[in-house]
Amino acid sequence: MRVALYARVSTADKDQDPENQLLVLRREAERAGDVVYKEYVDQDSGRRSESRKAFQELMRDAQKRKFDLVRVWDLSRFSREGIEKVFEHTSLLEQCGVSF
């Protein structure tokens, strides 16, 4: 399976490193026998998806069906916009044929 890895760290805490999330995601992908298509990384607040360039790229690539699955370290890394927005984002992925 082709997978996209998404990591986000908050700009409010300068000590965060997306590599911590990516290490876990890479290991899980390898364990599952998945091929990592691309790693998408934002260093930004998770409050508004419009401001996260890597997130926007991930969603565009999902529409082009460049991968089959999105892996995130934690739901809060995917979005901090509230549960309704999370459902919108995951529903769009599902409509594109991409699992979350």
DSSP 4-16: EEEEEE-TT-TT-
> pTM surpassing 0.75?
yes
Report the domain count for the chain.
1
User: CA 38 to CA 40: how far, in whole Å?
Assistant: 6
pLDDT band at 47 (very low <50, low <70, confident <90, very high): low
What's the chain's average pLDDT? 90
Residue 59: which domain range? 2-95
Check which CATH number belongs to the domain holding 72 and give it: 3.40.50.1390
Specify if 76 maps to a domain: yes
Specify if 64 maps to a domain: yes
Specify if 79 maps to a domain: yes
Determine the pLDDT at residue 77.
87
Cβ atoms within 10 Å, residue 30:
11
86-89: long-range contacts, CB 8 A cutoff, minimum separation 24: 89/49, 89/59
Specify if 100 maps to a domain: no
pLDDT band at 15 (very low <50, low <70, confident <90, very high): low
Specify if 68 maps to a domain: yes
